[in-house]
Amino acid sequence: MKRLMDRRSFGKTLLGAGAATLASPAIFGLNAVAQIRRGDELVVGIWGGAQERITRQHIVRPLEEKYGVKINYVLGGTPERRARAYQERGRPSFDLLYLNIFESRQAVKDGVTQAPALDRVPNAKFLYEPAKLGGYGVAFNPVTIVYDKRKASAPVTSWKDLWKPEWKGRIAWPSYPGAQGTAGLLMAAKIHGGSERAIDVGFQKIRELKPFAAIQGSQDQLYTMFDQGVADISIEFGSFTRSYAETRNPNIAIASPVEGQALAQNVACPTVGTTKQALVEAFVDLHLGEACQMAYARETYYSPTVSNLTIPPDLAPKLVLGDEVKKLVDFDWDHVISQQAAWSSRFNREIAG
Amino acid sequence: MRSGRPLTGILLSIPATAWLAVAFAAPMAVVALLSVQESPDPFAPVSLVPSLVQFAAILGDPYFLRIIAETIALGLGVTAGAVVLGYPLAIWLAGLPAKWRPYAFAVVLIPLLTNVVVRSLGIVLLLAPDGLLNSVLRPFGMARSAGFLYGHFAVAVALVQVFLPFMVLSLYDSLVNADERLKQAAASLGASGPRVFFGVTLPLSLPGLRAGTTIVFLMSSTAYVSATILGGKKVWTTGMIVWQEALQNLNAPTAAALSMIMLAWGIGFAFLAERALRRLAPWLSPDRPRSARRFELPAGLVRALVAAGDVAGPWIGRALLALAIFLLLFPLTLVAVQSFNDVPQATVAGFRAFTFKWYAAIFETGNYLGAFRNSVELAAAAVLCSLAMALPAAFALVRYGYPGRPAVVAFWMLPLALPHVAIGVGMLRVLQWYVAIPPFMGLLLVHVVLIVPFCISLLRTSVLQLDEALEQAAASLGAPPWRVFLLVVLPNLAPGLAVAGIIAFLISFGEVTVTSFLTTARLTTLPVRIYAEASFSLEPTVHAVSTLLILATVALLALVNRFVKLDRVWAK
C-alpha cells in the first residue's frame, strides 16, 4: 500500500510548516512597517522659502502621485522643532526632521533621531563621508569669509586676513551659536594654534578684533548690513552670499581661504519611533536623487552631498565638489556641541557684550 | 462707589479663574518646577526637592544682573516714550467727530495688523546710514556714520512703534468716558489748553494710564523679536536669553529661573502702578477715601512752568502728534512700496522695478490663504471667549470686593508678566496632554490665556467709569437687573468692549511665539507661516500679504461704517 507521505517527508513537511508558522508574524510585522500604504500621512519639519518650494516640487509631488500618500510640512527654523523633538522623544509627532550638522549628531546620541541606514536608502551609497553621520546629509553649505572687494587692499586668501588692520571696526562677526558663528570661533582657534579642545586662543583672538561694526544673527541681517554700508566683511554661508552678490550687490566677493572653508550641512533625520519608516526612507531617497540635488545647486548654490551627479561647467566653479569636499574643515562636532552652553555664555560676555 | 455682595464677586470671578487654572496653571507650574531643578540636562529626571542653584547662578553673575538692569531700563524707556507719544494721539482720537473715528482708529491699529518682522524692516530703513533720520540730521552735522541701528536706541524705537497702539487705546478708553463738561468748565474759568490738560484731562485719564503703562512695560520688558532684529546681537534682553537657553542650549531650568525673575519684576511693577493710581486718584477707590498728599511745587516755579506751557504747549502737542503718526505709518508705507518691488529679498532698500508677482505668489504658493483663514477663525473664537470671561471679571474687580481678591487679580495678570517663550517651554512639557485634544481647541486655550489679561485690564477701566446713577435710575423705574444690564450697562460699555475686542483680536492674530510650539502640520496660522519664511530668507511676498491685510481692514471699516450706525461704538 502506498502512503501519501512517508515518515521522513512528513517530518520535513512538519518542520517546514512549523518554521513558516513561526516566521509568519515576523513577515506580517515587516510588512506593517516596511511598506508604504495608500493614505499614509507623513509629517516633515523643514525650513520655509526655497527649501519648501524645491522639496515640494521634487519630492512631495512625485511621492504623493506614486503612492497616494499625504505629506505635511511643519515649517520653521531648527530651534523650535528640535526642542519639540527632544520633548517628544520616543513618541514623535514628526516623522522626519531637518537639522544642522551638530544638532543632528547630538540628536542621534540622545536617542531622538535615528542613525542613517545606508543599506535601506538606495541613493545613500553615493554620499560623501561627512554626510553619513548623524542622519542623511542633504546639502553642503560651507562657511567662508565674504567681503566688499572695493574695501579690500588685496583679495582675501586666508582666515588670518580678518586680523589685518584695514578691517578694524568694519567686521560684522556672526553670533554664536549658529553654523556661521561656530565656524568663526573654531577657525579663529585653529589658525592660531588652537582647536575645539583648546578654544581659549580663539576667544582671545576674536576679542582683539573688537569693536565690531555689528554682530550679525542671520544671512538676511548681514546682507542688509552690506546694503546699508554698516559692515564690509563677515563670515557667512558662501551659497547664499553668491546669490546675493549676483542679484543685489556685485561688490561682494566670496573668499576661498587656503586653510579651507568650514563644513556646515543640512541633515535629514528620521525620528526614533516613527511609524512610517519606509515612507521616510523614500522621501530621503528622493532628496538625495539627481532632480532635487540639482535644483538646490542651481537655485541656492548648495553643494550636493552625493557624488554621482554630472554638474554643468558653468555651475561647477560655484560649488564644492569631489576632492574639494575632503578639503572642507571638519571638527569634532560631538565635543563642540557638548561645549555649546559654556561657549555661548563666554561669547555673550566677552564678544557680544 | 458702592460695594456689592462678596458672593456675587466670587461668582463673577469664576469663569476667568477656571479657564486660567486649566490652561495656564499647568505650564506655569511646570516653569516654576523647572526653575528649581539643579541639572540642566534635558533628560534628567524631575526632582521634587527644590534647589536654588539656578537662581543663585543668575543673581550672582554680574553679567546677568547687567542684562536684567538694561532690560528693565529699556522697558521703562519704552513706556515713557509710549506715554509721551500716546497722549497726543489719544486726545486727538477722542476729540474727533464719531464719523471719522474709524479711520483714525485704522491709523493706530493698522501697524498691529502687520507682522512684527515686517515692521522692523521698516525701522531698519528709517535708521540706516542712508536712511531718513540721518538725512534729516545731516544738515545739522548730527548724522552718525554708522546710522542709528544695532543699539538700544533702535530697539527702543521699534518697541515704541510696536506697543504705542496699546497705550493709545488704553488712554482712549479713559478719555472717551471723561465728562466733556469738566473740560468746558475749566476753560470757562480761564484755564489755557495745557492747564486743562494737566489739571483735568490727565487726572481723569489716570486709570487708562495705569492700564496702558502696565501693559506696555510688561510687554516691552519681555520682548525679544524686535530686539533680535534691530539690536544686531549687541543688545541683549532677558527675553532673548530665555529663548537662547531654552531652545538653543536646551537648558530649560536656567530659562525657567530667569522667567520667574522676570515674572517677579512684572508683578512688582503692576503692584507699584496700582499703588500710584490709588495715591494719585483717591476718588476712584471703593474704600474710604484717604486724604491725597499732593506733591506741591513752589508757587513761583508753577507760574513759570504754566506760562511756558501756555506758549509752547500746543506746538509741542502738535509736534508729538505728528511724530507719533509718522512713527506708526512710515514703516507701513515702506512695506506697501516694497510689495511692488522686484527684488529677491524683502530687506532690499531702493526700488528696482515694478511687479505684481508677489501678489500672485500669495495665491499660488505656500497656502497663505489657508493660514489666514485659520488665524481669523482662531482670533474670532478667542475674542468671544475672552470677552465673555473678562466682563464679569472686570465687574468683580471694580464693584464686588471679597477677601483674597488681590491674589486672584494677580493670577489673572500673570500671563502678561511671563515671557511667551517660557509659556511655550512649559507647554512643551505638558504637550502630550495638548496633543490629545483637537489642535484648534489647544490653540484656543492658549490664545485666550494670552488675551484675557488685556481684556480684563481694559474693561476694568471702562467699568470704573460707568455712571451708576443711570443704573439706579433704571432700577428705580422697575427694570429687573438683566434689563438694566442689557439696556443701560452694555451700551455704555460699547466703546470699551469694542476697544478690548479689537486689541484682543489683533494680539491673537499676530501671536507667533507660543503658537509656533503648538502648530501642527494641518493647523498653521499666518504669523507662524511668515516667521517660518523668515527662518530661511524673507521674500517680498510677506510685504504683499501685509499690504493686502491693511487694505482689507480699511475697506472693511469703511463698509461697516457706511451701513451700520456704529457711532455709539466709537463714542458715548
Report helix angle B6-23 to B405-417, nearest 10. Answer: 30
Query: Which residue carries 589658525 as its cell?
Result: A191
Instruction: Give the pLDDT score at A163.
Output: 93
Name, in order, each residue with C-beta under 8 angstroms of B206's C-beta and a sequence gap of 6 or more: B174, B277, B280, B281, B284
In terms of residues, how long is chain A? 353
Nearest-CA distance B179 → chain A (Å)? 50
Q: Both A84 and A109 in a single domain?
A: yes
- Considering the domain architecture, whether residues A99 and A247 belong to the same structural domain is answered as no
pLDDT of residue A112: 93
- In a domain, residue A28? The reply is no
Please state the φ and ψ torsions of residue A254, each to the nearest 5 degrees: -110, 120
DSSP 3-state percent helix, strand, coil across chain A (nearest 5): 50, 15, 35
A213 CB near a chain B CB, below 8 Å? yes
Same domain, A268 and A210: no
The answer to the question of residue A294 being in a domain is yes
- The rounded distance, in Å, linking the Cα atoms of B163 and B227 is 13
- Cell digits of residue A312: 554643468
Let me know whether A188 and A297 are in one domain.
no
Pick the residue with more confidence: A2 or B388? B388
Strand pairing report for A252-254 and A143-148:
antiparallel
CA dist list (Å): B22 to A176, B16, B26, B449: 38, 10, 7, 10
Question: Which ranges of chain B have pLDDT less than 70?
Answer: 1-4, 145-146, 285-297, 346-350, 365-366, 431-436, 520-522, 534-537, 560-561, 563-572
Residue A123's nearest CA partner among A315, A297, A349, A306 is A306
C-beta atoms of A79 and B529 within 8 A: no
Residue A188: predicted pLDDT: 94
Residue A243 in any domain: the answer is: yes
Contacts of B40 in chain A (CB under 8 A): 341
Task: Let me know: does A254 contact A234? Beta carbons within 8 Å.
Answer: no
- A228 and B149 within 8 Å at the Cβ level: the answer is yes
CB B365 to CB A53 under 8 A?
Answer: yes
Between chains, do B129 and A228 touch, taking CB under 8 Å as contact?
yes
pLDDT on residue A187: 94
Residues of B whose CB is below 8 A from A248: 343-345, 348
Name the pLDDT band for A227 (thresholds 50, 70, 90): confident
Per-residue confidence (pLDDT) for residue B415, from 0 to 100 = 87
pLDDT digits (tens, 9 = 90+) for A114-169: 999 989 999 999 999 889 988 999 999 999 999 999 999 999 999 999 999 999 98
> Residue A42 belongs to what H/E stretch?
strand A41-46
How far apart are the two ends of chain B, measured CA to CA in Å?
21
Q: How many CB atoms lie within 10 A of CB B134?
A: 19
Residues A273 and A249 placed together within one structural domain of the fold: no
Same domain assignment for residues A131 and A110 = yes
My answer on whether A254 and A114 are in the same domain is no
- Residue B313: all three cell numbers together: 504747549
- Kindly determine whether residue B536 and residue A49, on different chains, have CB atoms separated by under 8 Å: yes
Q: Is residue A25 in some structural domain?
A: no
A:175-194 residues touching chain B, CB 8 A cutoff: 175, 177
Residue A292 lies in a domain: yes
SS (H, E, C) A103-115: HHHHHHHCCCECC
- Count structural domains, chain A: 2
Question: How far, in Å, CA of B457 to CA of A117, rounded?
Answer: 56
- How does pLDDT run across A256-315, given as a tens digit for each residue? 899 989 999 999 999 999 999 999 999 999 999 999 999 999 988 999 999 999 999 999
A116 and A205 co-located in one domain: no
In a domain, A127, yes or no: yes
Q: Closest to B347 (Cβ–Cβ): which among A83, A224, A341?
A: A224
CA torsion through residues B10, B15, B16, B19, sign:
positive
Strands A171-174 and A265-270: unpaired
List, for residues B391-423, the tens digit of each pLDDT value: 999 998 888 888 888 788 878 888 888 888 788
And the C-alpha cell for B510? 499676530
C-alpha–C-alpha distance, residues B85 and B163, integer Å: 11
Residues of chain B with Cβ-Cβ distance to A76 below 8 Å are 516, 528, 531-532, 535
Q: Does A215 touch chain B (CB under 8 A)?
A: yes
**Cβ–Cβ under 8 Å, residues A194 and A200:** yes
More confident residue, B442 or A339: A339
β-sheet bridge partners, residue A97? A45, A269
DSSP string, A209-237: TPSPSEEE-SHHHHHHHHHHTS-SEEEEE
Chain A nearest-CA distance from B551, in A, is 25
Same domain, A166 and A216: yes
Contacts of A256 (CB under 8 A, 6+ apart): A144, A157
Nearest chain A Cα to B364, which residue?
A53
pLDDT digits (tens, 9 = 90+) for B104-114: 887 888 777 77
Q: What ipTM, to 2 d.p.?
A: 0.79
| Grid cell listed for B267 | 508683578
Residues B521, A74: C-beta atoms closer than 8 Å: yes
Angstrom CA distances, B536 to A48, A299, A315, B292, stand at 6, 14, 22, 57
H or E segment and range at residue B163: helix B152-177
Which residue range(s) make up the domain with A105? Answer: 37-140+264-321
In this structure, the strands spanning A143-148 and A70-75 are unpaired
- Chain B hits for A72, Cβ within 8 Å: 521-522
To the nearest whole angstrom, how far is the Cα of B235 from the nearest Cα of chain A? 8
Mutate which: B30, B430, B535, vs A, most A CBs within 10 A: B535
Task: State the pLDDT at residue A17.
Answer: 53
Q: Kindly indicate whether the domain formed by B6-282+311-570 is annotated with CATH number 1.10.3720.10.
A: yes
| Statement to judge: residues A246 and A343 lie in one domain | yes
DSSP-derived secondary structure letter, A171: E
- Write the CA distances from B465 to A254, B324, B405, B493, B496, integer angstroms: 64, 27, 20, 9, 10
Query: What percent of chain A lies above the pLDDT cut of 70?
Result: 90
Residue A25 has pLDDT above 50, yes or no: no
Window 495-554 of B: residues touching A by CB (8 A cutoff) are: 516-517, 519-522, 524, 528-529, 531-539
The pTM for the full model equals 0.83
Q: Given A72, A227, A344, which is nearest B522 (Cβ)? A: A72
**What's the helix, strand, coil split of chain B in %, to 5?**
75, 0, 25
Residue A15, pLDDT score: 58
Q: Best of B30, B58, B145, B233 to disrupt the A interface by mutation (most A CBs within 10 Å)?
A: B233
Are A173 and A256 members of one domain? yes
Question: A353, B63: Cβ pair inside 8 Å?
Answer: yes
What integer is the mean pLDDT of A232-250?
90
A304-309: long-range contacts (C-beta < 8 A, 24 or more apart)?
A304/A139, A304/A140, A305/A127, A305/A128, A305/A131, A305/A136, A305/A137, A305/A138, A305/A139, A305/A140, A305/A265, A306/A123, A306/A126, A306/A127, A306/A128, A306/A131, A307/A126, A307/A127, A307/A128, A308/A126
Chain A residues lying within 8 Å of B517, measured CB to CB? 80, 83-84
- A-B CB pairs within 8 A amount to 154
For residue A1, the model assigns a pLDDT of 47
Mean pLDDT over each residue of chain A, to the nearest integer:
86
**CB of A166 within 8 Å of any CB in chain B?**
no
Q: How far is B520 from chain A (nearest CA, A)?
A: 6
C-alpha cell at B201: 484731562
CATH of residue A345: 3.40.190.10
pLDDT at A104: 92
What is the distance, to the nearest Å, from the Cα of residue A342 to the centroid of all Cα atoms in its chain? 23
Q: Chain B: residue nearest A231 by CA?
A: B146
The pLDDT assigned to A32 comes to: 44
Question: Which three cell numbers mark B569?
Answer: 461704538
A67 in B contact zone (CB under 8 Å): no
Query: CB distance from A338 to chain B under 8 Å?
Result: no
